[in-house]
Amino acid sequence: MTQQTSASHSGVFDVELVLRQARAYLAFGDQVRLFTDRLGEATEAETDWGEALQQHFTQLKVAIAQSAENPAVNPELARLWLLMADTWSETATTLGMATETIPDTLRQTEVWRTYQRTQGDYFNQLRDAAMKALDLMEQRLNELAVAGKTVSSLRELYNLWVDCNEDTYGRMLRSAAYGELNGRLFNALLRCYSRPEAQS
Amino acid sequence: MIGLTADQIAAEIEAFSHRLKQGAQTLAAVGEIETGVSLREPIYQEDKLTLYRYQPRVENPHAIPLLIVYALVNRPYMMDLQEDRSMIRGLLDAGLDVYLVDWGYPDAGDRTLTLADYVERYMGHCVDAVRDRHRVDAINLLGVCQGGALSLCHTALYPARIRNLITMVTPVDFQTPDNVLTHLIRHVDVDLLVDTLGNVPGQMLNFAFLSLSPFRLAGQKYVDLVDIFDDAQALKNFLRMEKWIFDSPDQAGEAFRQFAKDFFQQNKLVKGEVVIGNRRVDLREIAIPVLNVYATQDHLVPPAASKALAECCGSRDYSELSFRGGHIGIYVSSRAQREVPPAIAAWLLAR
């Protein structure tokens, strides 16, 4: 009899997984801090709390839209809602489809352009879900306010944000449109991979 | 309402950053995480497959051995993850003689393996090895998740070799409205996938699983991890689970092709249209006692997908065991350890 151990997998944890999400969480904290600063100013000026909240979410949506156009503007903020996009990119990379290493010959093909367009559609769907999540979060915060309840820590607020994203993302995931897009994305990637240019 | 000030947030961020810095060093020093705790020995090997027998934990184990067939995706050590989270240990403690099929890691040489290889050849040889060892005509079979679907096929094709069948979180009707995996694979060109890649990379399957709940599984989980950095036991438990999640074998291409198309996309198992080798799988041929174990909050195999077995199989001694939990919790939660192995053992020992 032997004590069983699994040796085929390295089993070494990738610390970067934690660090990436921790950085995204800290970016989230920065956004909330901006909001509370403005909220403090609004309170001093006796502005309506709900109005201040709405303004902040509007600004946040603009920031997210900007990070969608160009994640480099605020990469950590972008990472918050680009979780799935990141995961997809990593999957594509394991298949040898890392954007930065694609040969020029493949980039010039229609299959590659189709894949890029499909990936763009996919990211747009993710961004739309992220926007809806912010709407939902705003709604839930207002409901809490009406119920006289308070979110008293950054983590609590982050967890609410996660819940709202899972909610809106989950609805999107189960839609017929997403099922079709998901299939189209896989198939487009595979068509690139099957091109002789991809193997060079 | 947000009852937070900028100073509070700054303090929370600082505390988080401090824990993160310390924890990152701890994590980097943890090294390899071991899994699998119960003593076992290999009794049969074929290609990548290894059949293990676990050391009994009672003096006179039940005379009819139990063979566990796990899914082809993910690794079977989930059944024996650690001392206090081991379904196998629970079954051993309940007096059973337990065997497990470990499918191993398919490589490029395995791309032509078909479902017939898995269901008829590999499973057949494992069942024979256990039958011979115990000098019995029929053994007990426990199929887990996809392994449950393979076990249903094997039992339907070779009913005389199986005495009792247990299916655990096993999909039978793959097209219930709440089956998200089917929804995601419905429009994937499976032929293109297998023709292009040969074997299907485990990483690709991981993407599919993570995509079901990305904000929790790829985000919040790691933020929460920072809270347990100073709890060595909790940290090891987390890392053990994490290792299992990402320890995804590639899938033999041809077997994947048939499973994805026939089971997911065309739902042939419930229709009695699956063909293994050259034989049709008719679940009505399963007339032996069947225990169908499902999890009420299973997001991968919805309860309705499992419970469909009641209408398809031919057994007059069909029972269900409902576990209040999810697809993973049914193996590793504390309540699962208390509820599931004893219930399975009691059901078997009564037959």
What mean pLDDT comes out for the span B164-183? 96
Give me the CATH number covering residue B166. 3.40.50.1820
pLDDT reading at A148 higher than 90: no
pLDDT at A6: 43
* Mean pLDDT for the stretch of residues A146-158: 88
Q: Phi/psi zone of residue B153: left (φ > 0), alpha (ψ -120 to 50 degrees), beta? A: alpha
Evaluate whether B212 touches B299 at the Cβ level (below 8 Å): yes
Q: How far apart are CA A55 and CA B188, in angstroms?
A: 42
Query: Which of A149, A120, A165 lies closest to A28, judged by CA?
Result: A165
Q: Report phi then psi at B91, rounded to 5.
A: -70, -40
Work out how many domains chain A is built from and give that number: 1
The answer to the question of residue B332 being in a domain is yes
Q: Does B38 touch chain A (CB under 8 A)?
A: yes
Q: Could you give the CA distance from residue B1 to residue A148 in angstroms, rounded to a whole number?
A: 7
Q: pLDDT class for A7, splitting at 50, 70, 90?
A: very low
Per-residue pLDDT, averaged over B139-165, amounts to: 98
% of chain B exceeding 70 in pLDDT:
99
Of A4, A20, A83, the CB nearest to B214: A83
Structure tokens that stand for A103 in this block: 């040969």
Per-residue pLDDT at A8: 43
Is A166 domain-assigned?
yes
Q: Which amino acid is at B196?
A: T
Given a cut of 50, is residue B220 above it in pLDDT?
A: yes
* Residue B264 scores a pLDDT above 80: yes
pLDDT at residue B236 greater than cutoff 70: yes
Please report the pLDDT score of residue B9 as a whole number.
84
Range of the domain at B65: 40-349
pLDDT at A183: 94
Chosen from B2, B189, B229, B257 to mutate, greatest number of chain A CBs within 10 A = B2
The encoded tokens of residue B338 equal 């208390």
> Residue A51: helix, strand or coil by DSSP?
helix
ipTM, 2 dp: 0.87
pLDDT digits (tens, 9 = 90+) for B21-32: 888 778 777 777
Residue of B123, B174, B141 whose CA lies nearest to B312: B174
Tell me if B180 and A5 make a contact (CB, 8 A cut-off). no
Q: Would A7 be classed as within a structural domain? A: no
Q: 3-class secondary structure for chain B?
A: CECCCHHHHHHHHHHHHHHHHHHHHHHHHHCCCCCCCCEEEEEEEECCEEEEEECCCCCCCCCCCEEEECCCCCCHHHHEEECCEEHHHHHHHCCCCEEEEECCCCCHHHCCCCHHHHHHHHHHHHHHHHHHHHCCCCEEEEEECHHHHHHHHHHHHCHHHEEEEEEECCCCCCCCCCCHHHHHHCCCCHHHHHHHHCCECHHHHHHHHHCCCHHHHHHHHHHHHHHHCCCHHHHHHHHHHHHHHHCCCCECHHHHHHHHHHHHHCCHHHHCCCEECCEECCHHHCCCCEEEEEECCCCCCCHHHHHCHHHHCCCCCEEEEEECCCCCHHHHCHHHHHHHHHHHHHHHHCC
pLDDT value for A198: 66
Q: Is the dihedral of CA B182, B185, B189, B195 positive or negative?
A: negative
pLDDT at B135 over 80: yes
The CA distance from B80 to B88, in Å, is 6
Amino acid identity at B192: L
Does A49 score more than 70 pLDDT? no
Minimum-distance CB partner of B40 among A4, A159, A193: A4
Structural domain boundaries enclosing A28: 15-199
Checking if the pLDDT of A196 tops 90, the result is no
The per-residue pLDDT for A47 is 59
State whether A18 and B226 contact (CB < 8 Å): yes
* Cβ–Cβ below 8 Å for B24 and A18: yes
Strand arrangement of the beta sheet that strand A2-3 belongs to: A2-3, B39-46, B49-54, B98-102, B66-69, B139-144, B162-168, B290-295, B318-323
Model confidence over B309-343: pLDDT tens digits? 999 999 999 999 999 999 999 998 999 999 999 99
- Structural domain contains residue B6: no
With a cut of 90, say whether residue A48 has pLDDT above it: no
For residue B260, being part of any structural domain is answered with yes
Catalytic residues of B, by residue number, are 145
Task: Using the structure block, give the residue that is written with the tokens 């306010």.
Answer: A145
CA of B270 vs chain A CAs: smallest distance (Å): 23
Q: Is residue B30 part of a domain?
A: no
Place of tokens 């139990």: B66
Q: Which of B80, B82, B215 to mutate to test the interface with A (most CBs of A within 10 A)?
A: B215
Domain count, chain B: 1
Q: Are B169 and B144 in contact (CB under 8 A)?
A: yes
> How confident is residue A69, by pLDDT bands cut at 50, 70 and 90?
low
What is the mean pLDDT of the segment spanning B179-195? 95
Determine, yes or no, domain membership for A6: no
Decide if B35 is inside a domain.
Answer: no
Residue A143 located in a structural domain: yes
Side-chain-facing half-sphere of B297: CA atoms under 13 Å: 6
Please report the residues numbered 131 through 160 in chain B whose beta carbons come closer than 8 angstroms to any beta carbon of chain A: none
Residues B274-305 have pLDDT tens digits of 999 999 999 999 999 999 999 999 999 999 99
Of A46-50, B75-79, B255-259, where does mean pLDDT reach its minimum?
Answer: A46-50
CA distance linking residue B271 with residue B263, whole number of Å: 10
pLDDT for A50 beyond 70 = no
Q: CA–CA separation, B328 vs B336, rounded Å?
A: 10
Average pLDDT over residues B205-233: 88
Q: What is the pLDDT of residues A75-99, one digit of tens each?
A: 666 766 677 777 777 777 767 666 6
Residue B333 makes CB contacts below 8 A (sequence gap 6+) with B85, B325
What percentage of chain A carries pLDDT values higher than 90?
22
A8 within domain boundaries: no
- A1 contact residues in B (CB cutoff 8 A): 39-41, 55
Residue B50 has pLDDT above 90, yes or no: yes
State percent of chain A over pLDDT 70.
Answer: 71
